[in-house]
Amino acid sequence: MAKQNSYLKIKGTLGGLSFYKSRSGHLIREKGGIDGKRMATDPAFERTRENNTEFGRATKGGQLVRAAFKSRLQLSKDKLLVSRLGKLMVRVVKSDPVSLRGARNVTMGDLSQLENFQFNDNALLGKTLNVTYIATIDRATGQMEVSLPAFVPSGKVSAPIGATHFTLIASGAELDFDGNHYVVDEAAAENLPLDHLPTAPIDLSVTVTPGSTQPLLLAFGIVFTQEVNGLYYPLKDTSFNAMALVKVSGS
């Protein structure tokens, strides 16, 4: 590997050499790698092609999950969410017990592996909200629900400095991984005070297509807010907000 010393910095390939910029400056190296046509046709790379195809399905599956819960992820995610979810989706694809190698897919895989996935590893749902809740999915009606008993927020919610209130949110998604399509519904108990008074029992119910044959995912989370003159503002530091997949039903 060599550095470019000329005042004219080149990017690209020329005569078997690759010119590129890195943190170390403008560098040169010999063009390497396997020819694309050979990779696509050579029997020696059949396993590589199969792995790449399945990895692609896992990647698209993770993208669809993130798209379905996009409105919530804006306030409840960590920096490694994409890679953590991607690794889990690869495991789901590889758990497909029916399809041939290279044809394994998300829908036929064991989607129960997604249950308890934390979207924000910096704020785990069980530690942020220490309340026993019940999560259910009814495929026949398309109804998904999170139910919580009455609880005292000051003793059950681990809140950051500056927060005066919190919002509980349930998001239900119907995911068509093959068609790259989703249906999502949300319900929330908004701006509950962080005080010593018990809440009422809370039922958050969302509905997707009744009788759906697609995978159903139910997410549940908590977002912290601050009340100022009667208005509620999300905290700028979202690292304390938690959300997890609390119930999963495969197709």
Domains held by the chain: number: 2
**Start-to-end Cα distance in the chain:** 51
> Is it the case that residue 32 has pLDDT exceeding 90?
no
Q: Do residues 24 and 46 both lie within one domain?
A: no
Q: Looking at the structure, do residues 14 and 129 belong to the same domain, yes or no?
A: no
Do 93 and 8 share a structural domain? no
Report the half-sphere exposure of 117 (CA within 13 A, side-chain side). 28
Domain shared by 16 and 84, yes or no: no
- Over residues 49-97, the pLDDT tens digits come to 888 889 999 999 999 999 999 999 999 999 999 999 999 999 999 999 9
Of the chain, the percentage scoring pLDDT greater than 90 comes to: 76
The model's pTM is 0.82
104 and 175 inside one domain:
yes
- How far is residue 101 from each of residues 47, 51, 175, measured CA to CA in Å? 9, 8, 23
pLDDT at 172 over 60: yes
138 with 227, same domain: the answer is yes
Q: What is the CATH number of the domain that holds 132?
A: 2.60.40.10
Q: What is the pLDDT of residue 47?
A: 74
The pLDDT value recorded for residue 11 is 61
How big, in percent rounded to 5, are the helix, strand and coil portions of the chain? 25, 35, 40
**Pair (25, 145) in one structural domain:** no
Residue 9 has pLDDT above 70, yes or no: no
Structural domain that includes position 193: 40-249
Polymer length in residues for the chain: 251
37 Cβ contact partners less than 8 Å away, ≥ 6 residues apart: none
d(C-alpha 104, C-alpha 166), whole Å: 41
Stretch 9-18: mean pLDDT: 59
CA 82 to each of CA 57, 88, 90, 120: distance values in angstroms, whole numbers, following the listed order? 14, 10, 12, 11
Residue 204 phi/psi, 5-degree rounding, is -110, 115
* 113-140 residue pLDDT tens: 999 999 999 999 999 999 999 999 999 9
What the block records as the tokens of 42 is 């050579």
Are 172 and 121 within one domain?
A: yes
User: Is residue 124 located within the same domain as residue 243?
Assistant: yes
What's the pLDDT at 2? 47
Task: Provide CB contacts within 8 A for 151, sequence distance 6+.
Answer: 131, 198, 199
Residue 22: exposed, middle, or buried by beta-carbon count in 10 A (0-12, 13-18, 19+)?
exposed
Q: Could you report the per-residue pLDDT of 192-233, keeping only the tens digit for each?
A: 999 999 999 999 999 999 999 999 999 999 999 999 999 999
- Tokens at 244, concatenated: 């997890």
Q: Do residues 128 and 8 share a domain?
A: no
Residue 15: predicted pLDDT: 56
C-alpha to C-alpha distance for 121 and 105, rounded to whole angstroms: 26
Amino acid at 18: S
Residues 25 and 92 in one domain: no
Maximum alpha-carbon separation in the chain:
74
Tokens matching residue 33: 């790698």
